[in-house]
A and B are shown apart, each in its own frame.
Chain A
């Protein structure tokens, strides 16, 4: 036999060995995720209700509230007790310190499994009790007295009292995430006025103040004793949420950063469901950061994980196809969050409303939504409120500068032929526009479509630029130039499920606020927003926001594409994201921005 034949044999053997190792490895051992995910005993089962949902974001105009939910969901079956869930999230959390770590959707999934908020949001977007069982304010909304539930303990047994909240405030004042919220919500003092009574004092009126107590920086209750001032090691350790730091339904048992974070049920959790069943239903939950959208869905489809989140419409589209055989359940949510962009009105030619409106009217929203992968998923947006928000306005929708090619041409020609045009160009010269978006494939596609629309007018030269997310945000923020920014036409997201008056407009002049990304300021518009902060009544506030929206859409400093659909997608049987309840038994807001309430998620009973 020749050498060659002998060699071929060796190669063949190597391949056989490799395949054998693969097969043996896959057959042996219990690999975490799906193996032990089966539920155990069954408990009384509330019928699953299709509730509401929504999503968060940042805005220049105040954001949102109550929200809508589009839920493609699970059959009406009740929870069983036990089992586990492994959840693929789109990014790793910087850390799990509510007061310190800047958090977004994936991180919130983890954080709210470990910490409980003082208040929670109902399905209609208003706020209800959690650790705070009731609250009352003075007439001008500058002093808020909050009563806490009694008998709630951290996972190390330490009881939550009013002093806990005071101690938290000491840490929050120097917390990277909390300090800004304290300033913008006008909060100047927290005092224990009883064993379980806390008084918050504000420097200025803030009608929707309780909304900030639903969010992590100020609202998530933690044990400040574990992070003594000046102790760097304790601060670093807190990022992994050690036992005793929270009161939430789960405790972190293993945090392998960028790989997985494992949690087990808090055996002494203080919550039960409407039928008296101890929460959480699940024995354990683990979170796995998988950045790539495609492999995140592949991981779910292959059983590597049992749930995933996505904030991308294209992934929802693909997941809908994968779910057609019934192997996956989809919990979709379209709230107040929408895609779009803004013009930096301090930069020519965007300082001229003719250009701003002309650009909006030259672009067709449906085509941009299709490029984003949202055809049949997202609806065109016209304001920072979704249609089922109590603050949504038909009048504002009609005032939005939608697609009107002839109208756009008229406005742009008027500008081009204006001898005093703001960009200093000669009469008749084309307008130069720089449109910038992060380099996500769908965003690139959307900007290319927009570029085509704008260039089709024959009056505009559109240059596209793409910077990474951090640079993109920094350019709009403009910390180095008094928050004027270094951007021109800039992709952005608008709207959130948070109360529109909560924390983002009051404390600093809007002209110079870092939240005013477009730098557009209209005193009448701003006065309406401020007035809305002085009251709680929703219909009255809605009327004020309507007036503000009309002014804003006329000035067109920002534009919208479509509502941002988000989803939690699970292996068939894992649900509960639309039916979770507050302590008073009322249904909660659902899963805005693909943030699930894992403390009330469950495997459906057979």
Chain B
């Protein structure tokens, strides 16, 4: 099974890298435009020299092959715009994006699981309806609107938190907490809504299972039944979604990164696209694809931990 997964992983990465390379090369414009100002572009000799230096004159497949060869050896190249190593840029930004993703999903789970369990347990009651309405409401608010509201109240009115910027954990723990709260909450609210609905739905089904009825008949307390017997089998869908979310947030927090001026990976990718920095785009995209594939593999493995029946089948 592991070998099959590895083959699939490699095939996925190859496909992603090739498609990215192809798409970036079909974008209108030329990296030389971003690299040098117009007055320098009238010097054809200089332009030709740069094109040669960056391998822009080589055929597409040659360039892709060259990039792939280096990438296999861990060299994702240098940005044609900033001259920085792509791997350095990823290393610089991934802690920000990863922390944001983990904290926001952590916050979302903290609130969504109790809410979802409660709603499922109290299905059809006013409590269930209230929680569902709340979830609907949260789903309908875009995260950047939440961000703007938080900035207004917590930064401008109360002056509790900085409106923008990022303090790294290595610099200051309290500073880090202050800068992560608002972006994380902005992202978390939508996730809370999604997770709550998923947990509620699965919980309703689980509570109909015979082993739950059996536990009830033994006189076990409701809370014990819900969290010890019902929650785990109700978490399969949640696990899948959380896995997809973590991977998605690695590159998908760009709006929030932009709003709160965070030095994350999504923002870097967006800038690279606009700058036609094809080596950076290529490297970051492949990195994100790796994260996606690895996390999904972890999720698959985690299923076996959650549900022994899957483990036995495997």
Residues of A within 8 A of B (CB): 2-4, 6-7, 10-11, 14, 18, 21-26, 28-29, 31-33, 58, 88, 92, 94-95, 100, 102, 176-177, 179-181, 183-184, 232, 235-236, 239, 256-260, 288-292, 294-296, 298-299, 301-305, 467-471, 473-475, 477, 479-480, 483, 503-504, 507-508, 512-515
Contacts and interface: CB of A to CB of B under 8 A. Distances in A.
A362 B202 CA distance: 63
A289 B84 contact: no
Q: Which of B36, B111, B127, B274 counts the most A-chain CB atoms under 10 A from its CB? A: B36
Interface stretch (B4-12, B149-157, B241-249): B149-157
A495 B88 CA distance: 39
Nearest to A97: B83
B78 A232 contact: yes
A479 B46 CA distance: 14
A25 B178 CA distance: 6
Contacts of B92: 256-257
B37 interface: yes
19 contacts: A3-B221, A11-B111, A25-B161, A32-B165, A102-B34, A176-B37, A180-B37, A184-B42, A295-B151, A295-B259, A298-B152, A299-B164, A302-B151, A302-B156, A302-B163, A470-B275, A477-B41, A515-B38, A515-B39
A298 B111 contact: no
A4 B28 CA distance: 58
Given A26-B160, A470-B276, A94 B82 contact: yes
A58 B275 contact: no
Residue with the greatest number of chain B CB neighbours at <10 A, chosen from A18, A21, A232, A299: A299
Nearest to B41: A514
Contacts of A299: 155, 162-165, 261
Residue from A22, A183, A477 having most chain B Cβ neighbours under 10 A: A22
A176 B83 CA distance: 12
A95 B82 contact: yes
Interface string B16-44: 00000000000011101111111111110
A289 B172 CA distance: 20
A180 B175 contact: no
A470 B29 CA distance: 8
Contacts of B155: 298-299, 302, 304
B102 interface: no
B223 A470 contact: no
Nearest to B158: A26
Interface residues of B, number: 75
B28 A475 contact: yes
Given A184-B42, A291-B258, A291-B261, A304 B175 contact: no
Contacts of B46: 179-180
Contacts of B258: 291-292
Contacts of B222: 2-3
B252 interface: no
Contacts of B154: 22
Interface stretch (B60-68, B113-121, B290-298): B113-121
Given A177-B40, A258-B268, A288-B261, 6 more contacts: A31-B162, A58-B38, A259-B261, A304-B165, A305-B164, A479-B30
Contact of A180 (B41, B115, B121, B274): B41
B261 to A, nearest CB: 4
B148 interface: yes
Contacts, number: 215
Contacts of A296: 164
Given A4-B122, A292-B258, A468-B274, A474 B30 contact: yes
Contacts of A508: 42
B159 A303 contact: yes
A480 B174 contact: no
Contact of A295 (B30, B261, B264): B261
Nearest to B178: A25
Contact of B172 (A23, A29, A471): A29
A514 B81 CA distance: 21
Instruction: State the majority secondary structure of interface residues on B.
Output: helix
A290 B258 CA distance: 8
Contacts of A290: 164-165, 261
B169 to A, nearest CB: 13
A183 B43 contact: yes
Contacts of A295: 148, 151, 163-164, 259-261
Nearest to B107: A18
B151 A179 contact: no
B156 to A, nearest CB: 5
Q: Which of B42, B81, B92, B276 has the most CB of A within 10 A?
A: B42
A183 B174 contact: no
B156 A31 contact: no
B263 A256 contact: yes
Contacts of B117: 7
B226 interface: yes
Contacts of A3: 118, 121, 221-223, 226
Given A3-B222, A88-B164, A295-B259, A469 B274 contact: yes
A4 B110 contact: no
A503 B38 CA distance: 12
A-B complex: 5 closest residue pairs judged by Cβ atoms? A180-B40, A180-B39, A258-B263, A29-B174, A26-B160
Contacts of B139: none
A235 B83 contact: yes
Contacts of B50: 176
Contacts of B164: 88, 288, 290, 295-296, 298-299, 304-305
B141 interface: no
B87 to A, nearest CB: 12
B238 interface: no
B261 A184 contact: no
B111 A26 contact: no
A18 B160 CA distance: 13
A86 B67 CA distance: 40
A469 B29 CA distance: 11
B181 interface: yes
Nearest to A173: B46
A458 B207 CA distance: 68
A289 B262 CA distance: 9
**A4, A10, A18, A302 — most chain B CB neighbours (10 Å):** A302
A249 B67 CA distance: 42
A22 B174 CA distance: 10
Contacts of A473: 33
B167 interface: yes
A3 B122 CA distance: 10
A33 B167 CA distance: 11
A215 to B, nearest CB: 11
Contacts of B264: 258
Contact of A479 (B41, B115, B156, B172): B41
A31 B28 CA distance: 43
